[in-house]
Amino acid sequence: MIFEAAVIFLALLWALSLWFFLNYSKRQREMASQQAQGDALRDQRIKDLAKRLDDYQNVTVRMGEAIHELRAAVSPLPDRLLQLEQRDPNNVTFSQAAKLVGMGASVSELTESCGLTQAEAELMSKLHRRE
């Protein structure tokens, strides 16, 4: 009788151990499946971020090229401005005459300071007079 009880006890213990093992195996498979899904999401996110980084790098390169082109276009401007400032003061342009009219210069002042004819000075005065 003790032998039969021991066999029954061992059988129950074996069944219980088998149940725990199968339950543990099932949880491990579920965790592995969840981790695989998480890994797939992470990999997709990494791919998306890598694409965005490539896009940002491409935009940055294009902006750098545009800045380089702008720098090339703007670099001669200081020399040109210096040339304009150093030119002959007797050679006053119509735009400078227009500024003088805007500041209230008379026709006679325009003819004297800008070297304009009487008709040119009158025209500039009529065109650019502040009302």
- Can you give the residue ranges of every domain in the chain? 89-128
pLDDT tens column, 81-95: 777 666 655 555 677
Strand extents, DSSP E, 45-93? none
63 pLDDT tier (thresholds 50, 70, 90): very high
**Residue 113: per-residue pLDDT:** 80
Tokens of residue 22, six digits: 């199968």
Tokens of residue 70, six digits: 């702008």
**Residue 81: per-residue pLDDT:** 72
Predicted TM-score of the model (pTM): 0.45
CA distance 113 to 127: 18
Please tell me which residue, 54 or 130, carries the higher pLDDT value: 54
Please tell me which residue, 118 or 30, carries the higher pLDDT value: 30
pLDDT tens column, 13-58: 999 999 999 999 999 999 999 999 999 999 999 999 999 999 999 9
